[in-house]
Amino acid sequence: MEWHLVCCVLACTLVSTQVYGQEQEKIVLSLPDASGQPGKNLTLDVAQLAKIVLPSPHETRVIGGHVTTNTKLGGYLTALLYEDDFVCGGTLLNENIVLTAAHCFLGRMKASEWIVAAGISNLNQKGIRRHVKDFILSEQFREDDMNMDVAVVLLKTPLKAKNIGTLSLCSVTLKPGAELVVSGWGMTAPRGRGPHNLLRTVTVPIIHKKNCRAAYQPTAKITDSMICAAVLGRKDACTFDSGGPLVFKKQVCGIVSFGIGCASSRYPGVYTDVMYVKPFIEKSIKALLAKR
Ligand code: ARG
């Protein structure tokens, strides 16, 4: 526990060292001995430490993907804005319904503040916008471990236009190694600042659940509602890609949910398993459409 704390403080020190541009070379820590009295000094080499705590230069590259356009993808990707700020990606399932992640709504529960923008590739574009009428988060969504990170959104008015497409819900159980496409306006470096204006896409293979569980052990629990995908150390989704689809043959099979770091060499990206949460999605679509 204390070791974690020390790591945390060191990581923060490193980041702030970078942020404030002070080129510190050594950090001297004064460690208390067992009785709590000042003990010996520990001198840490910042460059050495950075190699351990910070992502490798490899990882700070674009997270393995390339710039694309929404039309090229199939026009199914939407940007979800709250109080005019971009928050998450989403998938158009039909002209009235968008699929996204439940965690996008944490602290953002007012339906009237949400807007869905479709047909955009650059976040500066206005695209075709719709207000949100209502949304349903899974009752089993747990903030502490991201179990059942899924939400279904009902648009105020139907969204249909040239270049706008939809995806169907996953109907295949994905095997490890299956290659899927994830896209979004997420960060292209693990410690980037915010979303990117340009849409990016990357192909990532499904990672064996057993391996994913083991990798995240004991930090995070990989529950039944999750699947993992990434090329470790090279290709992954990242912050602000959340809610966007992991696509297999025009089907949405995953929803970007979480990860420790991005394109980490240890931790794969974690997605909501659409096959697993399909009953919830179908039930919610019915309930929302009945409300119109
Ligand atoms: N939770 C992030 C978001 O809100 C998604 C992070 C995905 N991370 C990853 N390494 N695949 O945008």
Domain residue limits, the chain: 66-291
267 lines ligand 1 (CB under 6 A): no
Return the pLDDT at 292: 83
Distance CA 95, CA 160 (A): 6
- The reply to whether ligand 1 has any atom less than 6 angstroms from the CB of 272 is no
Cα 31 to averaged position of ligand 1 atoms, centre (Å): 35
Is 149 in the active site?
yes
pLDDT of residue 18: 29
Q: Which residues pair with 28 in a beta bridge?
A: 43
Geometric angle at alpha carbon 142, from 89 and 226, rounded to 5°: 65
150 versus 194: the higher-pLDDT residue is 150
The C-alpha atoms of residue 277 and residue 137 are separated, in whole angstroms, by 11
Q: Which residue has the tokens 């096959």?
A: 275
Q: Which of 231, 241, 246, 270 to mutate to test the pocket of ligand 1 (most atoms within 8 A of CB)?
A: 241
Q: Which two tokens stand for residue 120?
A: 């955009």
Task: Decide whether any atom of ligand 1 lies within 6 Å of the 262 Cβ.
Answer: yes
Q: For residue 267, give the DSSP letter.
A: P
Tokens of 192: 């980037």
The mean per-residue pLDDT over the stretch 125-152 comes to: 97
Fold entry, domain 66-291 = Thrombin, subunit H (2.40.10)
Cα–Cα distance between 106 and 90 in angstroms, integer?
A: 15
Q: What is the number of the ligand 1 atom nearest to the C-alpha of 264?
A: 10
Q: Residue 3 pLDDT more than 60? A: no
Nearest atom within ligand 1 for CA of residue 186: 12
**Under a CB-based contact definition with an 8 Å cutoff, are residues 232 and 206 in contact?**
no
DSSP 274: H
103 is catalytic: yes
Alpha carbons 179 and 181: distance in angstroms, whole number:
7
Q: Which of 138, 183, 225, 242 is catalytic?
A: 242
The bridge status of strand 168-169 relative to strand 251-258 is parallel
Residue of 145, 256, 265 best suited for mutating to test ligand 1, as the one with most atoms within 8 Å of CB: 256
- Distance from CA of residue 253 to its chain's centroid? 15
Of 121, 138, 149, 241, which one is the catalytic site residue? Answer: 149
The residue that leads in pLDDT, 219 or 35, is: 219
Q: State the angle between helix axes of 2-19 and 46-53 in degrees (0 to 180), rounded to the nearest 10.
A: 110
- What is the number of residues in the chain? 292
- Residues 231-258: what's their mean pLDDT? 96
Q: In the prediction, which pLDDT does 189 show? A: 73
Tokens found for residue 226: 């999750």
Q: Which of 21-30, 36-45, 115-124, 277-286 has the lowest mean pLDDT?
A: 21-30
What's the gap in Å between 241 CA and the centre of ligand 1?
A: 6
d(CA 203, CA 178): 10
More confident residue, 89 or 52: 89
Q: How confident is the model at residue 188 (pLDDT cuts 50, 70, 90)?
A: confident
With the most atoms of ligand 1 within 8 angstroms of its CB, the residue from 80, 258, 272 to mutate is 258
**Mean pLDDT across 118-129:** 96
- Please give the distance, rounded to the nearest whole angstrom, from the Cα atom of residue 238 to the centre of ligand 1: 4
Rounded percentage of the chain residues whose pLDDT exceeds 90: 73
Check: pTM over 0.85? Answer yes or no. no
Residue nearest ligand 1's atom 4 by CA: 242
Catalytic residue among 103, 225, 236, 273: 103
How far is the C-alpha of 281 from the C-alpha of 170, rounded, in Å? Answer: 11
Mean pLDDT of the chain: 84
Looking at the predicted structure, is the pLDDT value of residue 231 above 70?
yes
Residue 45 has which token pair?
């080499």
pLDDT given for residue 37 in this prediction: 57
Confidence of residue 35 (pLDDT cuts 50, 70, 90): low
Question: Residue 53's pLDDT band (boundaries 50, 70, 90)?
Answer: very low
Taking residues 60-89, report their average pLDDT. 89
For residue 244, report the distance from its CA to the centre of ligand 1, in Å.
Answer: 10
**Pair of tokens at residue 273:** 């398993």
Asked if pLDDT for residue 61 goes beyond 80, the answer is no
Atom of ligand 1 nearest to the CA of 271: 11
Token pair listed for 40: 């010996």
